[in-house]
Amino acid sequence: MSMGHFTNSADPRSGLEVIRDWNGVSKVVLRSPKGHSARVSLHGGQVVSWKNDRGEELLFTSSKAIFKPPYAMRGGIQMCFPQFGNSGTLERHGFARNRIWILDDELQPTNHNDNGSKTSVNLLLKPSEDDLKCWPHCFEFRLRVSLSKDGDLSLVSRIRNVNGKPFSFSFAYHTYLSVSDISEVRIEGLETLDYLDNLSHKERFTEQGDAITFESEVDRVYVSSPNVIAVLDHEKKHSFVVRKEGLPDVVVWNPWEKKSKTMVDFGDEEYKQMLCVDAAAVERAITLKPGEEWTGKLELSAVSSTNCSDHLDHPVSI
């Protein structure tokens, strides 16, 4: 059911629309003038779709994904906060991805930012009473999701401590990329880095390959990583360029065959069509004093593989 355009948008061509899914959860649809699109669910602040100008889906979503709160949908881009994985006392990947966010009315609409070159939506999450019982820290989590006129997808997270005492957290943009065949994919930009191997009790190793390729289960945290890396899909002849700021780590995950069969919301063979590459702050927790704010940025571009090297030289522009 359509809820129409934002009533406070002065520009009917703003490219913003709010719709409801079959669970009654609102999704914001962003569109570029050239035909790119993205969808952001208020359930979890999760980006559930990102399509190029040909209508091809660039993010992976499992055919067995559960689309019902309070579960995070298996796919898209999930907000992992205030915990990543099982590295603390909270539910896996924290609670932010399982909560209902609200539109941040103070900042709507932002379709005119950057001289109208981006369409953006701003979301806000504050802790509920139940959240404060399991994680007793007051915060404001503001998320801006933007789609550029050329189809680049950017996410900017700002987390503020409105608490009376410091708190610490880990964070990740848990990003499921859609790939043609995992055995045809490689990642460039993580060579020679140290990584923590979650399949070996977080033991530290040093990456030896010229590029990362996949022939078995991978679950690694590459630490002190560069702010630009590329995921090259040989069969699709395109690459994802991942740019980040404020996020020192990159998590690389593919469950492969055996693990896939243990996940109820994931098809047995779907590991072949996906790869998680997460901009993250995992190895060292982020600590905020009262009143302090942290910012973490992610920008995703899908480019022709022949143009990939040009993009690797460009800094983050978000």
**What is the Cα–Cα distance from 251 to 277, expressed in whole angstroms?**
6
At 53, the amino acid letter reads: D
10 is a domain residue = no
What's the whole-number mean pLDDT along residues 207-231? 95
301 forms beta bridges with 241
What's the whole-number mean pLDDT along residues 27-47? 95
Largest CA distance in the chain: 55
11 is a domain residue = no
252 is a domain residue = yes
Task: Please determine, for residue 175, whether its predicted confidence score (pLDDT) is greater than 50.
Answer: yes
**What is the Cα–Cα distance from 222 to 128, expressed in whole angstroms?**
33
194 forms beta bridges with 206
Instruction: Specify the CATH number for the domain of residue 260.
Output: 2.70.98.10
Residue ranges with strand state E in 164-273: 167-178, 185-188, 194-197, 203-206, 212-213, 218-222, 228-233, 238-245, 249-254
Task: Please determine, for residue 6, whether its predicted confidence score (pLDDT) is greater than 80.
Answer: no
Integer angstrom CA distances of residue 144 from 31, 172, 187, 253: 15, 15, 27, 25
| Confidence band, pLDDT 50/70/90 cuts, at residue 33 | very high
| Confidence band, pLDDT 50/70/90 cuts, at residue 3 | very low
**What is the Cα–Cα distance from 173 to 77, expressed in whole angstroms?**
6
Tens-place pLDDT, residues 274-315: 999 999 999 999 999 999 999 999 999 999 876 565 555 555
User: Are the CB atoms for 228 and 243 separated by under 8 Å?
Assistant: yes
Other beta carbons less than 10 A from residue 120's beta carbon = 24
Per-residue model confidence (pLDDT) at position 2 = 33
Integer angstrom CA distances of residue 9 from 17, 109, 121: 10, 6, 12
Task: Please determine, for residue 11, whether its predicted confidence score (pLDDT) is greater than 50.
Answer: no
Instruction: Share the mean pLDDT of the chain.
Output: 88
Which residue range is the domain that position 268 belongs to?
A: 16-313
Per-residue model confidence (pLDDT) at position 115 = 56
Tens-place pLDDT, residues 150-173: 999 999 999 999 988 999 999 999
231 is a domain residue = yes
3 is a domain residue = no
**What is the Cα–Cα distance from 114 to 318, expressed in whole angstroms?**
10
1 is a domain residue = no
| Confidence band, pLDDT 50/70/90 cuts, at residue 36 | very high
6 is a domain residue = no
What's the whole-number mean pLDDT along residues 231-247? 94
197 is a domain residue = yes
Per-residue model confidence (pLDDT) at position 143 = 98
If one compares 111 and 78, the residue with the highest pLDDT of the two is 78
Per-residue model confidence (pLDDT) at position 70 = 73
Number of domains observed in the structure of the chain: 1
Task: Please determine, for residue 318, whether its predicted confidence score (pLDDT) is greater than 60.
Answer: no
